[in-house]
Amino acid sequence: MSDLEEVPLDTRKGRAAGALSVFLAALSVLAVLCFHFPEYLTTPELRRSYDVALLRRVLEATMLAAAVLGSWALLSGGAKRLGITGIGLTLVAVWMGGANVQVGDFEQPKIAFGLDWLVLALLSNTLVFVLIERMWPHRQEQLVLRKEWRLDLIYYAFNHIMISVILLITTAFSERLFGWAVNADVQAAIRSQPVWLQLIEVLFAADFMQYWGHRMMHEHPVLWNVHAVHHCPAHMDWLSGSRIHFGEVLFTRSTVLLPIYLLGFSEAAVNAYVIWVGIQSLLIHSNVGLDFGPLRYLVSTPHFHHWHHSADAEAIDKNYAAHLPVLDMLFGSYLDNKGRWPQSYGVVGKPLPRGFVAQHLYPFIAPPKK
């Protein structure tokens, strides 16, 4: 019997309620901070598209859920500390003003931290992906809070909070270096097409860039030490895919943005692409064992990308595509292995150091190797 099975079901449910209470209450505190300091902690691009009144209602519901779950954890026994922490953090959010904080007009500095983006994404991603990983697990025994989840959460948080910096740098890359190549007639012709066709084109264009950028990182010994950070998790789930060196985030985002910038796709097509990327990048890493049938030849699935992360010899340098496996089929790096899953994940050889800072320094101190 595993350790988990030895814990009485009521206590397990109490712990889950307590953990969820702490999670929701912590997000509530961060959300209240966003309402207090929108000029420094919210993302201008995001703020234009959300309804603040609706978000206040979401915050109220989140605080209420945190308090109820915290009380349940407290009463069920076995999770008292989690229950007290969840209720305590909820009270802090209420004391800070809760959903009623109002501020006047403000000037937004050029760079702001995307705390609002982090809170909204983390809340929705966690609720959706934990649910589907529980419903259709690949590895049933893998816990939600598995080994190194804290490290992956730090990566997730950092890459979301830095959204303004990422947008600023990647946009400058395209505009400053390739602004001369923009052709208004080409862009008008692209924009005159139906949005669904533009979405297919943008997926191809972006994934073509990402495929070769990704392959280059695998094949160049110095670049591999940067990309090895993404390959070092030994467990795969929706959160583990966030482990990406910040240099790689900037490099990949810049190269992917370039064809979008040059070809001038419509806003609707780019928005659809951004939503697609957001969902697929989490899904392909997730601990989901679903067989997508013939769809798996069309779009990258968890099975396809888990093989990319495999440490098994047959899988090394295979399945690079982020969206469309046809790129691997075209360029000779496709591995199917239908119905069979990898035995192990991670980098081959000496493991990487642990920790966010150590892994960011790793490419600068590790000898080039592959």
CB atoms closer than 10 angstroms to residue 33: 19
Of 311, 366, 367, 303, the residue nearest 138 (C-alpha)? 303
Binding mask 314-343 for Zn ion (x = CB under 5 A): ------------------------------
Question: What torsion, rounded to 10 degrees, do the Cα atoms 70, 75, 77, 79 define?
Answer: 10
Q: DSSP secondary structure string, 288-353?
A: B----GGGGGTS--HHHHHHHTB-SGGGTT----SS-THHHHHHT-----TT---S-BS-SSSPPP
Binding mask 154-173 for Zn ion (x = CB under 5 A): --------------------
Q: Which is nearer to Zn ion, 27 or 236 (CB)?
A: 236
Distance between CA atoms of residues 118 and 44, nearest Å: 14
Q: Which is nearer to Zn ion, 241 or 363 (CB)?
A: 241
**From the CB of 217, what's the least distance to Zn ion, in Å?**
7
Q: Which is nearer to Zn ion, 86 or 241 (CB)?
A: 241
**From the CB of 280, what's the least distance to Zn ion, in Å?**
11
Cα torsion angle, 307, 309, 315, 318, sign? positive
Distance between CA atoms of residues 354 and 73, nearest Å: 32
Helix (H) or strand (E) segment spanning residue 190 = helix 184-191
Q: Which is nearer to Zn ion, 83 or 241 (CB)?
A: 241
Q: Which is nearer to Zn ion, 160 or 245 (CB)?
A: 245
Binding-site size for Zn ion (CB under 5 A) equals: 1
Name 288's bridge partners. Answer: 137
**From the CB of 302, what's the least distance to Zn ion, in Å?**
10
**C-beta of residue 223 within 8 angstroms of C-beta of residue 135:** no
Q: Which is nearer to Zn ion, 114 or 241 (CB)?
A: 241
Q: Which is nearer to Zn ion, 10 or 314 (CB)?
A: 314
**From the CB of 311, what's the least distance to Zn ion, in Å?**
12
Q: Which stretch binds Zn ion (CB under 5 A): 137-145, 171-179, 234-242, 286-294?
A: 234-242
352-358 long-range contacts (CB < 8 A, ≥24 apart) are 352/228, 352/229, 352/232, 354/148, 354/151, 355/151, 356/151, 356/154, 356/155, 356/158
Q: Which stretch binds Zn ion (CB under 5 A): 5-13, 21-29, 150-158, 233-241?
A: 233-241
**From the CB of 321, what's the least distance to Zn ion, in Å?**
11
- Tell me which residues in 237-256 interact with Zn ion (CB under 5 A): 241
- Tell me which residues in 170-229 interact with Zn ion (CB under 5 A): none
CB-nearest residue to Zn ion: 241
Question: Footprint of Zn ion on this chain (CB under 5 A)?
Answer: 241
